[in-house]
Amino acid sequence: MQICLMDETGATDGALSVLAARWGLEHDEDNPMALVLTPQHLELRKRDEPKLGGIFVDFVGGAMAHRRKFGGGRGEAVAKAVGIKGDYLPDVVDATAGLGRDAFVLASVGCRVRMLERNPVVAALLDDGLTRGYADADIGGWLQDLLQLIHASSLTALTDITPRPQVVYLDPMFPHRQKSALVKKEMRVFQSLVGPDLDADGLLEPARQLATKRVVVKRPDYAPPLADIATPNAIVTKGHRFDIYAGTPLTE
């Protein structure tokens, strides 16, 4: 994949070359999207809209830390949607990981989560965030146990992941109408990189075959159900809907 690669660390250790080789990235000086190694983290920038700033994954500080400390925890809609109850903490495959926010919420309440991400740039951002998270004194211990990244296409990986999870979580990219500054900024940069998930409808059936209990699909409240398959089971929040579909139980 071609993208502009930039190193702002001032170091001469070749870290950018190692990164490019690992994720199969080629430097393209004229690409409007840039993956930038800063002294603090790896970030994605839209070069023709510098005011949007850089997007990076941060499990340790910022909004994620605030959500972990002061958010609803088990009471969050995503936690209810995957079926967390009492001692039941399902094993989850997040097949559309994005920046890892929902996966992190589920891990922070005790679920083991495997994140799938097919875009190499997004996978590199997630990996950078995980590396810093794993090294953190506060969250590193449980984060290493509960949150991991698999760089693969969901369409193929969903058919051969073992062991099978109890829940598959899907949050396909869908054009957002919200005017919130953060969503607008992130979606503009993100959609410039990956575009909408045009093949997202094809994820529902393999997800239902893989999950032993349920599939949860996060949709904006104005979006039709995935693959136009309606379900009476949903958790509705302000602005979103978590549609719940039955999985395929394990056979003895």
Binding residues: 101-102, 117-118, 153-154, 171
The structure tokens 């959500």 sit at 67
Tokens of 124: 């590199």
Tokens of 210: 């893989």
- Residue ranges for the known binding site for S-adenosyl-L-methionine are 101-102, 117-118, 153-154, 171
Our CA angle for 196, 202, 205, nearest 5°, is: 140
CB of 196 closer than 8 Å to CB of 214: no
- Say whether 33 sits in a helix, a strand or coil: strand
Rounded CA-CA distance 226/14 in Å is: 43
Residue 213 per-residue DSSP state: S
Alpha helices of the chain — where are they, by DSSP H?
15-23, 62-70, 77-82, 101-108, 120-134, 140-146, 154-157, 181-194, 204-210
